[in-house]
Amino acid sequence: MKEKIDAIQAEALARIAAADDARTLEEARVGILGKKGTLTEVSAGMRDVPKEQKAEIGQLLNASRSAITAALETKQSALQDAADAQALAGIDATLPARPVHHGSLHPLTLIRHQALEVLRRMGFALADGPEIEDEFHCFDALNTPADHPARNEKDTFYFDSGKLLRTHTSSVQIRTMENQAPPIRIIAPGSAYRRDEIDATHLSVFNQLEGLYVDRDVSLGDLKGTLEYFFREMFGSETEVRFRPHFFPFTEPSFEIDVKLHAKGQAPKWIEVAGCGMVDPAVFESIDAGRKDDAFSPEKVTGFAFGMGLDRLAMIRWGIKDIRLLIENDVRFLRQFA
């Protein structure tokens, strides 16, 4: 038995040394250590070995198996090194590697995170709602009359079912008030859709951020102070902000907010970034009618609402001249934010 094991080991080592490719080496491994391999068959004969010799023969078998396994691993490593060397033939491995370009978050994601961080520090909580809306939550509940231009098919994307792609995230404010009593202080970021002509400052799909604060004795001064603080936290303490009287069906009084844009190579100019105002009592009355209570009675509460385009905030934050750059996925543009 000892002589047989020694002979198998010697033959196996010679066969492994002669293997010149991975396939030949694998055939040698199977022929020696496989289920029907030569060493495996000898191991099966251990049951016929006299009891007093079992320990010695067992040690010999284990030593032989270890030697053959080590030889297989060494040969496999040598074959792999040879294959690698052949693959690298003619290549100068000492040349510097190509630089790895690091990615970053999209500028719209960056500005969204920054805006939410500022507003959450001010006590606003996140709220969400569907992008496919009905006319009640998008228009009726917001005191928007049936003949308002925003409800025209030329301005809004309608489905055959009568539903529509929300034109603003104000619908989230309505849904929140339907399910929650004052005090309410929420922000609703998300996509909005309008049939706008696409140009340097308009897109048909844009990213909006709206806010709502309802409580006792909320004033216009609270609104103005909140938004001035917000924009100066976003763009710096020297940021110029102006409020212009405007009209929105769901707020009274209402204002549009402009921030001065300083784009490289252009003269500074005012750009509209937000609309805001005190919540119209008609909106509160509509909410109470749906809730069947007086939680939002104009005699008890007041509130303010605001909405802004995150795309335009990004333009101001980084001096971007054309809003279309934010959706074109031009790597040369996006690389500036890495």
Peptide bond before residue 130 is cis, with ω within 30 degrees of 0: no
Q: Alpha helix locations (H) across the chain?
A: 2-18, 22-33, 38-44, 51-87, 107-121, 135-138, 170-179, 220-235, 281-291, 310-318, 331-334
On whether 178 is known to bind a ligand per the annotation, the reply is: no
Chain mean position to CA 51: 69
134-141, Cβ contacts within 8 angstroms, sequence gap of 24 or more:
134/162, 134/163, 134/164, 135/162, 135/164, 137/171, 137/174, 137/175, 138/164, 138/166, 138/167, 138/168, 138/170, 138/171, 140/286, 141/171, 141/174, 141/283, 141/286, 141/287, 141/290
The helix-helix angle for 51-87 and 2-18 (nearest 10°) equals 0
∠ CA 216-221-227 to the nearest 5 degrees? Answer: 105
**Binding-site residues:** 252
**Binding-site residues for Mg(2+):** 252
